[in-house]
Structure 1
């Protein structure tokens, strides 16, 4: 049942972007994807062509 909830959050994040998630959803998303969003650092890497 919990996986279902995480799947929904991940799907929502993919569709509307992580910024559309609530604080609670984002915490679960980060826990499940292990992608802690460090604001700025990731987007800077993308601009510089690093992944």
Structure 2
């Protein structure tokens, strides 16, 4: 494996990790928005996710 291939592999790996982190953050915001909205029960609003 040449150094160019190594750099390309590292760049693709970093890109994949960044995408996973971004989608996880978006998913958590979506879950919080759905679970803590006006139609949520009082127990859901007091859960750890909504705090």
Q: Tell me whether the two structures share a fold, i.e. TM-score over 0.5.
A: no
Larger Rg over CA atoms: 2
Larger RCO: 1 or 2 (CA < 8 Å, sep 6+): 1
How high is the TM-score relative to the length of structure 1?
0.34
